[in-house]
A and B are shown apart, each in its own frame.
Chain A
Amino acid sequence: DTEVTQTPKHLVMGMTNKKSLKCEQHMGHRAMYWYKQKAKKPPELMFVYSYEKLSINESVPSRFSPECPNSSLLNLHLHALQPEDSALYLCASSQQSMISTDTQYFGPGTRLTVL
């Protein structure tokens, strides 16, 4: 099974709201990722967690706050977002984060709209 699940599928929020995105995998992977994808563009890496510790933050604004409560779960907390943050947010996982031959498996994404 190579499934990564994400909830919710769609999210609409105002600029003053606080919301969270959830990602889950049960493949025993020790690396998990958040990506942001704008329309007609490739995904852009935001964060990498390796063994439940944040290993890469690609200069993401602090209004995005990741959290990895355990090896299967990854959250992205959202606060005071801007309309330009509207995008598809993708979660991915892989066996490790330091092996180039590893495959990243992606979830279906959360379509976020900020009003």
Chain B
Amino acid sequence: GDSVTQMEGPVTLSEEAFLTINCTYTATGYPSLFWYVQYPGEGLQLLLKATKADDKGSNKGFEATYRKETTSFHLEKGSVQVSDSAVYFCALSANNAGNMLTFGGGTRLMVKP
């Protein structure tokens, strides 16, 4: 079946450091890929998405590129802020399953001043 694997956290960085959170997936066909962010005590917010190979999603300084050859969708940001501290979920929706989301386990990011 479909699956998403994320690097385990927590990831602890200093402010202005470079961020990478790895995400790889297994799916048949051509899934759509998503990054959601969950701030403490809140619901999930869509951060970015990509729906086909080589697409780059970007938002609020975060970027991720849909790499079909490596089945990856790694999240990057050039300079993190304390306000980026949250849990980040990578997810896919396979085109043979409607838009049912398969989530990775989540990665907690902690940014220190």
- Name the prevailing secondary structure of the A interface residues: loop
B34-A103 in contact (CB<8A): yes
B97-A100 in contact (CB<8A): yes
B73 at the interface (CB under 8 A from A): no
* Contact A101 B103, CB 8 Å, known A90-B44, A106-B45: no
* Contact A45 B44, CB 8 Å, known A100-B32, A103-B34: no
Among A21-80, those with CB < 8 Å from B are 31, 40-43, 45, 48, 56
How many chain A residues touch B (Cβ–Cβ < 8 Å)?
29
Nearest-neighbour CB distance to chain B for A88, whole angstroms, equals 8
Query: What is the chain A residue whose CB lies nearest that of B52?
Result: A101
B106-A98 in contact (CB<8A): no
By a beta-carbon cutoff of 8 Å, the part of chain B in contact with chain A is 31-32, 34, 36, 41-46, 49, 51, 89, 91, 93-95, 97-101, 103-106
By a beta-carbon cutoff of 8 Å, the part of chain A in contact with chain B is 4, 6, 31, 40-43, 45, 48, 56, 88, 90, 92, 94, 96-109, 111
